[in-house]
Structure 1
């Protein structure tokens, strides 16, 4: 007698790999970055997405001239898959026999204090057997950490001109815009660009290149670059802006929660731009923590991809202009 077998998951595509590819592409809003994470070609990602859309009978992405956006269906599926894949990854991690140990991470100071330190509780919750030791890496006149110094498994730092050892390991670019404290505006209305430029300038670097780059990007002729307060770290510049000392040019990816809570503000209709700096990771060749390092970097990429999604939402909410997504 022939048995009748019911398809319990009949709506799922035959290849679950297409869902994995879509989840990565939706996180980055980039087929190229998804391909890098999955170690496949950009055309393979595009083909998998097209097949998934055909199988589901849905359009998941809006393909713009040089960028991608999620449809409502795509956004709903992306949220679901990111959550489910995260839970599956944690379950497999907990089931897999391992001898997890210590992971030593050397991190650029502002990134550590303004962004990473507050998120480590999430990493510890997901991977309780990996003990992470964070060490701050200081910069001197644009020279990065000494990668040959040892004593770490993973280094995370900013760089303008990456060398061949880590040029393919970019995490993200800086996203620059001027910010100021709400106390400097009238009521809940954002300052105009002209009013923002009239505030005292706060420079996060001694060469004042960040303000210069943003003004050039916005085609603004300005003769006030020599005025204001100059620091040697973005962390100090953010603190000064929060205290109401003026307008600071900062990497807003480090202060998204402050922007979300309106503890810091951007000028009305602000145009965001990339700086020449990017964040990279470097895996120490002498490390014995390859598995832990791989887990940490994967988690780091997910956190940064979530930030890009949050930034997009804030831009839509406030009328800010995102940088070109194709350049992420």
Structure 2
């Protein structure tokens, strides 16, 4: 006969958090209740699950074995319950980076609602979303170099790199006459150095030494640094057009570089069978077509 579900839940919470008090806060019960559940579970199983030293607790070998099983079991239960709730609520879960969500998706979100009012879109912010990771998303928007576009993906938006900085940055460092001038000035990077390396290559500059400067995952943080004069960055057209119009940043050159990066849409084949998921995919594709239209 299995122990009570409440006792197993209390054990799992304590095992995950390494503390009865933390488990109690997670389950909204008292630490005493957690302790009673654990002692009852130990009595039922006839084994010791935790070593107790003062207020500190540590899993025994038997506790570790049970924790592995309860972790998998409750994880499967949570996944199934979440899936059932999403199905009943017509929810579509979309994973995307914060810059895409803020600059591209948010200005269009009312159009999605007007076309598909029955769909609830849940946007999960992830810096490096890709299919197959822990996002558990129906649809993933990924940002990649065009040369690295996944074969299973649909291209949503091409991005052209331009060098940008604030007016204060230019006032501090003087007018920037040539691309190579930036090699000796503060520059900031997103995720890695490839953005600037691609930009320098397109401008005919080959850095003789490794590029320097802080690297950030969150593009919104990176952009704020540029707007506050902390460094020049590679901006991406058309995402920054409004910022340029409002003069939060300015272009350092009038470069016209072929698109190097892009946003791509991916979805598991199994997810496409849901009508709601396919509707959102169709809507995303229609937005891409709108961008390609004359005058867009």
User: Normalised by the shorter chain, which TM-score bucket?
Assistant: 0.5 to 0.7
Q: Distance in 2 between matches of 1:217 and 1:288?
A: 38
Is the 2:113–2:119 Cα contact (8 Å) retained in structure 1?
Answer: yes
Which structure would you say has the larger Rg? 2
Decide whether aligned partners of structure 1 residues 212 and 153 sit closer, same or farther in structure 2, where only a CA change above 3 A counts.
same
1:287 maps to which of 262, 266, 271: 271
Is the 1:176–1:272 Cα contact (8 Å) retained in structure 2?
Answer: yes
- From the two aligned structures, give the one with the greater helix fraction: 2
Equivalent residues in 2 for 1:104-123 (5 A)? 104-123=93-112
Q: Does residue 216 of the first structure (1) align with residue 205 of the second (2)?
A: no
**Partner of residue 34, structure 2:** none
Is the 1:105–1:132 Cα contact (8 Å) retained in structure 2?
Answer: yes
Matched position secondary structure for 1:174: strand
Length, aligned pairs only: 204
Decide whether aligned partners of structure 1 residues 307 and 239 sit closer, same or farther in structure 2, where only a CA change above 3 A counts.
farther
Q: Distance in 2 between matches of 1:262 and 1:272?
A: 21
**Partner of residue 131, structure 1:** 120
Q: Does residue 179 of the first structure (1) align with residue 168 of the second (2)?
A: no
Q: Does residue 102 of the first structure (1) align with residue 91 of the second (2)?
A: yes
Q: Distance in 2 between matches of 1:111 and 1:286?
A: 25
Q: CA RMSD in A?
A: 3.5
1:204 maps to which of 183, 190, 208: 190
Equivalent residues in 2 for 1:62-77 (5 A)? none
Kindly provide the CA deviation profile for residues 178-219 of structure 1, in whole angstroms up to 9, marking residues without a partner as x.
111233346xxx96545972642111123x111111111111
Structure 1 unaligned regions, length at least 5:
1-98, 314-328
Is the 2:143–2:263 Cα contact (8 Å) retained in structure 1?
Answer: yes
Structure 2 unaligned regions, length at least 5:
1-87
TM-score (norm 1): 0.52
Kindly provide the CA deviation profile for residues 30-82 of structure 1, in whole angstroms up to 9, marking residues without a partner as x.
xxxxxxxxxxxxxxxxxxxxxxxxxxxxxxxxxxxxxxxxxxxxxxxxxxxxx
Deviation at 1:264, TM superposition (A): 1.9
Decide whether aligned partners of structure 1 residues 226 and 290 sit closer, same or farther in structure 2, where only a CA change above 3 A counts.
same
Q: Does residue 260 of the first structure (1) align with residue 245 of the second (2)?
A: yes
Q: Distance in 2 between matches of 1:271 and 1:159?
A: 20
